[in-house]
Amino acid sequence: MNTVNVKAEHDYSVFIGCEWSSTLVNKLSGRTRVALVVSSSFVPDLSSIKAIDADVHVFEVPDGEDAKSQATLMALWNWLGAAGFTRSDLIVGIGGGAVTDLSGFAAATWLRGIDWIAVPTSLAGMVDAAVGGKTGINSDYGKNLIGSFHSPQSVLIDLNFLKTLSERDFCAGMAEVIKCGFIDDHEILNLASSLDRNNLLSDFLLLEDLITRAVAVKAKVVSADFKESFAREALNYGHTLGHAVEIYAKYQLRHGEAVSIGMVFVAELAHSRGLISTEVLQQHRDLLSKFDLPISYDRQAWQKLAPLLALDKKARGNTLRFVALQGIGATVRLEDLSSDELDAAYERISS
């Protein structure tokens, strides 16, 4: 098992390669009430948790983004109220990023903040959503618009969860892993290259190393910049066009799939500015397509995507801001791009 420590409003640890239920049981001693929040479509074996000497409640929420609705949050608040949850009680979110985002936000808001533990079960949840303290739900006006920074007490990563995860969700999570490789840790790219594409789970030690390194990249950035000023922007590599593609595609693409397209786009921008070599640009395409991640997008979509770029959280006033690479492991802000440069980069990723 590997441990990565995160500095935030309180320090906490991410345990990678643990057995989640026994680790969780150990962390529950002394709690009077525990809420286990799970998706109704993925309920792991909770028997050992239910057997502890505490009042354990299981709250099932709808799957995917439906978990992050105001209605689900309201239901969760009501359940917590009905079960008499106090300041010293605990919420545990066990699921993909949607479940941990909702659970963390319920914990942030119930009684102005109670403790929570994240047990991410998807690869995207393990390397991204459950680490960093961002919690939240969606608004009718967009994803993640209602939220809070509220770090968990710990994050428990059990690789066995990956055995039931769909290949599409595994590969979508790999986009965030690869992103961490490009922005900070070259070795992640080597490890991702050596993963057996025909048997993704064949080498758990390699996977544990890969996930630990990706978590360490996120932990390092978050620890330096918990509330997202400049340093944390590095984690948004590929996300500027990625978010626009998600909106354009009406969230039918996985987040990682949209980020994959966004990374190739910004790599094209960086390449045209001479910031990265042709080899690094090609490395984006090779590695992302190894995991069946999209590396091109519909040429006709650009007319609609270009205005959507301005909605990105990194945009300031009328200035678009991209996180780009200046070689592997070094990020730089690109703010002075002309529309000709943007058009030309999109043309090169068009299909």
Ligand X SMILES: NC(=O)c1ccc[n+]([C@@H]2O[C@H](COP(=O)([O-])OP(=O)(O)OC[C@H]3O[C@@H](n4cnc5c(N)ncnc54)[C@H](O)[C@@H]3O)[C@@H](O)[C@H]2O)c1
Least distance from ligand X to the Cβ atom of residue 60, Å: 11
Q: Catalytic pick from 68, 218, 254, 285?
A: 218
| 218 catalytic per annotation | yes
Q: Catalytic pick from 27, 68, 179, 239?
A: 239
Quick note: the x/- pattern for ligand X over 217-256, rule CB under 6 A, is --------------------------------------x-
Nearer to ligand X, 112 or 163 (CB): 163
* Residue 345 burial (CB count, 10 A): 23
Q: Catalytic pick from 179, 213, 220, 243?
A: 243
Quick note: the x/- pattern for ligand X over 169-208, rule CB under 6 A, is x--x------------------------------------
Q: Contact at 8 Å (CB) between 253 and 301?
A: no
Q: Contact at 8 Å (CB) between 350 and 298?
A: yes
Distance separating alpha carbons of residues 178 and 197, to the nearest angstrom = 14
Backbone angles phi, psi at 328, to 5 degrees: -70, 130
Nearer to ligand X, 177 or 270 (CB): 177
Q: Catalytic pick from 228, 273, 341, 348?
A: 228
Quick note: the x/- pattern for ligand X over 27-56, rule CB under 6 A, is ------------x-xx--------------
Asked if 262 is part of the footprint of ligand X (rule: CB under 6 A), the reply reads no
Nearest Cα neighbor of 38 from 14, 13, 20, 12 is: 20
Q: Which stretch binds ligand X (CB under 6 A): 3-11, 98-106, 285-293, 298-306?
A: 98-106
The residue with tokens 């007490």 is 153
| 341 catalytic per annotation | no
Nearer to ligand X, 33 or 255 (CB): 255
**DSSP string across 136-173:** EEEETTEEEEEEEE---SEEEE-GGGGGTS-HHHHHHH
Distance separating alpha carbons of residues 181 and 4, to the nearest angstrom = 17
Nearer to ligand X, 125 or 238 (CB): 125
Nearer to ligand X, 151 or 283 (CB): 151
Least distance from ligand X to the Cβ atom of residue 274, Å: 31
Q: Catalytic pick from 57, 150, 220, 236?
A: 236
Least distance from ligand X to the Cβ atom of residue 58, Å: 15
Distance separating alpha carbons of residues 118 and 97, to the nearest angstrom = 10
Q: E strands, the chain, where? A: 2-6, 12-16, 33-39, 55-61, 90-95, 115-120, 134-139, 142-149, 154-157, 322-325, 331-334
Phi-psi region of 185 (alpha: psi -120 to 50; beta: other; left: phi over 0): beta
| 333 catalytic per annotation | no
| 271 catalytic per annotation | no
| 10 catalytic per annotation | no
Q: Contact at 8 Å (CB) between 43 and 188?
A: no
Using alpha carbons only, what angle is made at residue 50 by residues 159 and 94, rounded to the nearest 5 degrees? 35
Nearer to ligand X, 41 or 282 (CB): 41
| 134 catalytic per annotation | yes
| 236 catalytic per annotation | yes
| 112 catalytic per annotation | yes
Q: Contact at 8 Å (CB) between 56 and 49?
A: yes
* Residue 212 burial (CB count, 10 A): 21
Distance separating alpha carbons of residues 229 and 220, to the nearest angstrom = 14
Distance separating alpha carbons of residues 260 and 26, to the nearest angstrom = 38
Number of residues that bind ligand X (CB under 6 A): 29
Asked if 105 is part of the footprint of ligand X (rule: CB under 6 A), the reply reads no
| 284 catalytic per annotation | no
| 168 catalytic per annotation | no
Asked if 60 is part of the footprint of ligand X (rule: CB under 6 A), the reply reads no
- Residue 350 CA from chain centroid, whole number: 26
Which residue in 33, 134, 150, 179 binds ligand X (CB under 6 A)? 134
**How many residues are present in the chain?**
351
The set of catalytic residues is 112, 134, 176, 218, 228, 232, 236, 239, 243, 255
Q: Which residues bind ligand X (CB under 6 A)?
A: 39, 41-42, 63-65, 68, 95-99, 101, 121-122, 124-125, 128-129, 132, 134, 143-144, 161, 164-165, 169, 172, 255
